[in-house]
Structure 1
């Protein structure tokens, strides 16, 4: 038990969120020839094209007495350059999407797109957002083909818009059109290198394409467009939403925690290896670095106590064992190694007490039995020497 160190421990388009994107304009194109107006599917109980909704209301249209009023203030939030009745449709779609009602959200976005065409509104940015948001609904409902068409329309309106590119890439991937998906993911990463989903999927698709086409897989790829530097700079300068900032902060914290865990595991393993080789001073330094990273891990203090005992730093070893026992009051190793520290400090009574504690916790610890015999003998000898040197009165 005295030299055994503890093993070092072994060391991931968004559902549930608003599908807001950047930029758009124009009616939706189907198939080959002229642009067709998308069909609007009406949902019973939902408002007409003026964007109003009747939620949680009885059939008669009157709100029940005593029932809480439904907060629909989100409907009146500004929505780019859209007029109020179309802004309400877009906001209603965002609200429905956020609550997982993708089919109903799709209807709202479709009504807003139709309303723009009827009103002659030519705002590429706003239409791009509507097409991109509707594409998110198609993607959630497993309709990858229509998702691709809406994303392509959004990108015609606002080239290099990030979210339509990312959603189209996901739709291509779901249809196993991996080369096109790869191109869109790589384009996304030119605009924003921080999109982790794009990194992960590029890595996965690359392995699949190598298996499929061999070492010359790049030859068969469509051309990857070069995103203009002005677009990249514009994206970097664009203010980010609170939601995006929070997601980035969470990702950064996760990455930092993973980095710390990996470094900690490496240091602890190195410390353990150095103890086995008898390099106690170097091991002591490794464990001290570990303590700085994770000061609440009991094993670090019992491991470091081994090094201190071997270096005859008995008081420091005792202190580390005290800390370990504060963290884990029933830790046998801490009691045993503190007994050795007390022995080194010639406090044989305290050493005996700790060894008896070890044997009470586990009567089968042979090292503790043997050490107790030694300490008892030293204690007896110490008492005899004290008596011999005490003058008689």
Structure 2
């Protein structure tokens, strides 16, 4: 029962049918409140619906199906590994996971989209993640990679700069900013980034090759 629910919820979310997606994620939580994907999806949809409809967002939801007790695998005291956190009333799941957990989930969704080559969608996931946790360095560098693929070079520079503010020794941030600056014809800035990168990792062959390439434009 869970897999079809989660798949349909994800499909509704992709189609921006957020009320239907929320109902399916919430139903999945009722079936098994220990499933993190259901919890994260429900919290994600609730945030979208509150943003769109305000405090009256629940009034616009489709009818919520009832889940028989026999189908609620994790809620009864006999369920293996059951804890007080999973023995909750039907609406208590709305408290959901923390912002950092939601941010991590969105970041992982973005990573999966990158693996599929869907960089524009990945940018949206990373942006949503950073709204919840703007101190995660790798989310900035991952989004910078997507911006590079989409030829959005100023945005890539901005993300790498943000990453370096959090981690001044981040090699990926130096390298990706150097790539973006090269495309923006900021060759001096690109050389500086690569030199800083190679100070920290002198044997980095990708950095060495790019530095040789960029230095040709500065002569």
Q: Does 1:268 align with 2:107?
A: yes
Mark the runs of 5 or more structure 2 residues left unpaired by the alignment.
Answer: 1-74, 81-91
1:280 is matched with which residue?
Answer: 119
CA positional deviation for 1:259: 4.4
> Which residue of the other structure, out of 78, 81, 97, is the alignment partner of 1:206?
78
Q: Does 1:340 align with 2:166?
A: no
> Which residue of the other structure, out of 153, 161, 165, is the alignment partner of 1:314?
153
Q: How many angstroms apart in 2 are the aligned matches of 1:369 and 1:207?
A: 57
CA positional deviation for 1:207: 3.5
Tell me if structure 1 keeps the 8 A contact 2:103–2:130: no
Tell me if structure 1 keeps the 8 A contact 2:99–2:133: no
2:43 is matched with which residue?
Answer: none
1:331 is matched with which residue?
Answer: 170
1:358 is matched with which residue?
Answer: 197
What does residue range 1-393 of structure 1 map to in structure 2 within 5 Å? 203=76, 205-207=77-79, 255-256=95-96, 258-380=97-219
Which of the pair has the greater relative contact order for Cα pairs under 8 Å at 6+ separation? 1
Tell me if structure 1 keeps the 8 A contact 2:147–2:156: yes
Q: How many angstroms apart in 1 are the aligned matches of 2:112 and 2:201?
A: 27
TM-score of the superposition, structure 2-length normalised?
0.56
3-state SS of paired residue (1:206) = coil
Rg larger in structure: 1
CA positional deviation for 1:260: 3.0
Per-residue CA deviation, residues 68-103 of structure 1 (Å, 9 max, x unaligned), is xxxxxxxxxxxxxxxxxxxxxxxxxxxxxxxxxxxx
Q: How many angstroms apart in 2 are the aligned matches of 1:364 and 1:355?
A: 12
CA positional deviation for 1:313: 1.0
Segments of 4+ in structure 1 off by > 4 A?
none
CA positional deviation for 1:345: 0.6
CA positional deviation for 1:337: 0.8
Per-residue CA deviation, residues 294-349 of structure 1 (Å, 9 max, x unaligned), is 01111111111001111111111111111111111111111111111110110111
3-state SS of paired residue (2:189) = helix
**Coordinate RMSD, CA, aligned:** 2.9
Q: How many angstroms apart in 2 are the aligned matches of 1:364 and 1:272?
A: 27
3-state SS of paired residue (2:78) = helix
Equivalenced residue count is 138
TM-score of the superposition, structure 1-length normalised?
0.32
Q: How many angstroms apart in 2 are the aligned matches of 1:207 and 1:349?
A: 63
